[in-house]
Structure 1
Amino acid sequence: MQLTLGPVLYNWKPELWRDFYFRIADEAPVDTVVVGEVVCSKRSPFLDPHIPAVVERLAAAGKTVLMGSLTLMSLPRERKAMLELAADDTFTMEVNDLTCLGMLGGKPHAIGPFVNIYNEATATYFASRGATRICLPPELPLSAIRAIAQAQPDVTFEVFSFGRVPLAISARCYHARLNKLSKDNCKFVCDQDPDGLAVTTLDDEPFLAMNGVQTLSYTSASLLGDVDKLRDAGVGAMRLSPQQCDMVAVAKLFRDVVDGKVAGNEGTEKLSAIYPLKQSNGFLYAKPGSAFVTDNGDVRRIVPAA
């Protein structure tokens, strides 16, 4: 079982973003790392100067580097940028917007969790177009994951296993609207919430989190207790999504559980100490995504905010 570090979904300060990947290269036991801005193209100019050094450092450390595409293209400049990304043969693209498939022209590529692959036929289609690895949508239950993975044994299938779960992307910017700004003049206020901004209901219950144009779960996915089930289902990699915590410690903990050095339930407890956000794995058991299903089948739901 491999470990993949997904792209940073939030607006982090460029130097912090760079140093984060430098540390991942030097210390984190992950096999594959996805680099690049996938949420909002307005953030890209701040990260682009650091990408060559980041990719070089990761590659020198033996990591496989994937370059993530935007999740939603709506402007000519965004399409041009993705065309340039697809034309570069020095790395493999991870496709998050189907428009990129035509740009790739059948070249080997990866598929990110933002593409809706819900059954075996769809996975087979993408494999025929050159997909060599697929991160399945996080809302899939284990039964569907098993059916898809077993139908395409030559494809490496990933499952979103840690971090706030990306649920939706929009052409409108929630952070800008909240601060009474336009999307074109957002002043990059999303950097005020480097781990997403929690959203509560009118009853003051935690509900979702927002990140610029993106909607995420309030809870953090945690599939540490489900490693054996995922492996038996044919899953080849677990994806960790960067959060504001010690991601090297998270990666080491996942590595220990995957390698059988730490039991899944013990790993789940240790993860709470590293990243105290409420954990969830409900989607895997066809339950509400915010639920957490324990080893004995008990379903725990998140506690309303104080």
Structure 2
Amino acid sequence: MRGSSLKLTLGPLLYLWPTDRWRDFYFRIADEAPVDVVVIGETVCSKRLHFMEPEIAAVIDRLEAAGKEVRLSTLALVTLDREANYQRTLADDDARLVEANDLSALQVLKSRPHAVGPFVNVYNGATAKVLARNGATAICLPPELPSTSVTDIARACPEVEFELFAFGRIPLAISARCAHARSKGRTKDNCQFICQEDPDGLPVNTLSGQPFLALNGVQTVSHTCQALLDDPDETRSMGVGSLRLSPQTCDMTAVSKLYRQLLDGSICPTEAASLLRNVYPDVPLSNGFHHGQVGAEWIARLRNSEGLGR
């Protein structure tokens, strides 16, 4: 069912980047990043689609020529007819696995192999079994799940390859309204793509000035960056087959190489955490959800590594 080695998946870019930057990012991933699967496509806001459409064919060709498996991501929220039509268009692509991030996509993908992304709530084994019967062959579990729940779900549905959201700001909510545009005096219909000004999200502080969340168009993400850096044998023992890296503005090629070293046993989890902070220094790391604690917390596995927490 699962191989002995863990795979690395690069999830879809959740932020709005200019077309040239978007293309060049994926070209470098194709040429230099040791990832096995790359999920591409607009997940957050359908208005952003035209930024990637001119280059998406070239990006797919470059990734596949480099030996990467390409999957296509659906939208995480469908509110308009044109968005529903877009979902159906994706479902018609027989050449690549489509990743469903909304229940409407599950319906159009029924009875054909597909993946399920972290925006679909899979909180127990019974749900995973239903999705498997619908055609799901891979499921990226929601990032807020503790490791105990991950283990229970994977054991209940061994025919599916399960994936953990191992790096990136955690997607927490998505809305039909755009708080990002509103915060800058715009409306969703006349946003003028203001979210492009914040390629890693717009920081949101509490009334007392403490960092709290970040806005990404209609999406809300965490202030902290989830970083799951367990020993690979421990991850495999949970029934997990892949780790997902969610693109941020840091050097994602370096991030992927660091995770590959961790999975290969070249570095230990403590060293990986230290190196990761050098790659992405401006955002604190967290793993609280994975350990059944407050999501924004960093839970040190070893007493002598507690000083690494932030």
2:297 is matched with which residue? 291
In 2, Cα distance between equivalents of 1:63 and 1:141? 29
What TM-score comes out, normalization by structure 1 length? Answer: 0.96
Q: Are the counterparts in 1 of residues 161 and 240 from structure 2 also a CA contact under 8 Å?
A: yes
CA, structure 1 residues 226+191, in 2 after alignment: closer, same or farther (shift >3 Å)?
A: farther
> What is the identity, as a one-letter code, of the residue corresponding to 2:294?
P
Percentage identity across paired residues of the two chains: 54
- 1:170 paired residue among 170, 175, 195: 175
Q: Show structure 1 runs of 4+ deviating over 4 A.
A: 297-303
In 1, Cα distance between equivalents of 2:154 and 2:110? 24
2:280 is matched with which residue? 275
The total of aligned residue pairs comes to 303
Q: Are the counterparts in 2 of residues 135 and 159 from structure 1 also a CA contact under 8 Å?
A: yes
2:3 is matched with which residue? none
2:118 is matched with which residue? 113
Alignment of 1:214-293 (within 5 A): 214-225=219-230, 227-276=232-281, 277-293=283-299
In 1, Cα distance between equivalents of 2:292 and 2:110? 36
Q: Deviations for 1:235-260, whole angstroms, at most 9, x for unmatched residues?
A: 10000000001100000000000110
> What is the identity, as a one-letter code, of the residue corresponding to 2:88?
L
Root mean square deviation, CA, Å: 1.5
What TM-score comes out, normalization by structure 2 length? Answer: 0.95
Q: Are the counterparts in 2 of residues 225 and 268 from structure 1 also a CA contact under 8 Å?
A: no
- 1:94 paired residue among 94, 99, 118: 99
> What is the identity, as a one-letter code, of the residue corresponding to 1:295?
R
In 2, Cα distance between equivalents of 1:231 and 1:225? 10
CA, structure 1 residues 301+178, in 2 after alignment: closer, same or farther (shift >3 Å)?
A: farther
In 2, Cα distance between equivalents of 1:301 and 1:116? 32
In 2, Cα distance between equivalents of 1:300 and 1:150? 35
Q: Are the counterparts in 1 of residues 300 and 309 from structure 2 also a CA contact under 8 Å?
A: no
- Secondary structure of the residue aligned to 2:25 is helix
> What is the identity, as a one-letter code, of the residue corresponding to 1:283?
F
Return 5+ residue gaps in structure 2 as ranges: 1-5
CA, structure 1 residues 19+199, in 2 after alignment: closer, same or farther (shift >3 Å)?
A: same
In 2, Cα distance between equivalents of 1:281 and 1:183? 33
Question: Which segment is superposed worse, 235-244 or 291-300?
Answer: 291-300
2:209 is matched with which residue? 204
In 2, Cα distance between equivalents of 1:184 and 1:239? 32
